[in-house]
Amino acid sequence: MKALVSGFESFGNNIKNPTKELIHKVQEKKLDGVEIKTALLPVEYDNCFYYLKKEIESFKPDIIISCGLYANRSAISIERLGINIKDTMSEDPIPDNRGYAPTDETIDVMGPDAIFTNLPYRKIVNQLIKKKIPAHISNSAGTYICNNIMYETLNFTRKKGLNTRVGFIHFPADTDMAIENPHMPSLPIEVMLKALVIAIETTARN
């Protein structure tokens, strides 16, 4: 079984994006029966899926898990759905890394309003909580780049009729980021890595 795991570069005022380190570390893991490939994506509405799509077409994964930073959350968030909108002003008003700041724009004018993940999200959350890792199911991936990549990936596999398991996981800030901002919720990178491995393994088994 093949798993494609993506993370993002840093953006806005964040000194780093822990998902960059996460995908580097998870690629070093030896998971039973799962081959892992990773991709680092730009924080750009119009280009993030372009890079991921190339990896999907060449690697042909059975599982695609995209990872992003949600610095104000204190738990691992397994996103339930992506919505067909890009709207920077609904989030912190931070343009993407090319300066693009769309408002009330659809991602695909012919696409459905929302597409649900087909990851076993409830089982993933249950496994994480069982391992004493704070986690929950989130019903909003926002309207920024994270939602954008989730929706576009789900929409692509839907159009192609693929059986690929696709989903998105939001991670809190890591401890290094909290040193710069002591009021920011955070988790150690080792805990987040453990959570990502559990999510991959749980998906592969279900």
- Quote the CATH superfamily of domain 2-205: Peptidase C15, pyroglutamyl peptidase I-like (3.40.630.20)
Residue 181 token pair: 């901002």
Model pTM greater than 0.85? Answer: yes
Instruction: Please give the chain's pLDDT, 206 residues, in tens.
Output: 999 999 999 988 777 899 999 999 999 988 999 999 999 999 999 899 999 999 999 999 999 999 999 988 999 999 999 999 999 976 667 899 999 999 999 999 999 999 999 999 999 999 999 999 999 999 999 999 999 999 999 999 999 999 999 999 999 999 999 888 888 899 999 999 999 999 999 999 99
The residue ranges of every structural domain in the chain are 2-205
Report d(CA 104, CA 125) in Å as an integer. 31
The answer to whether the CB of 35 falls within 8 A of the CB of 70 is: no
Catalytic residues: 79, 146, 170
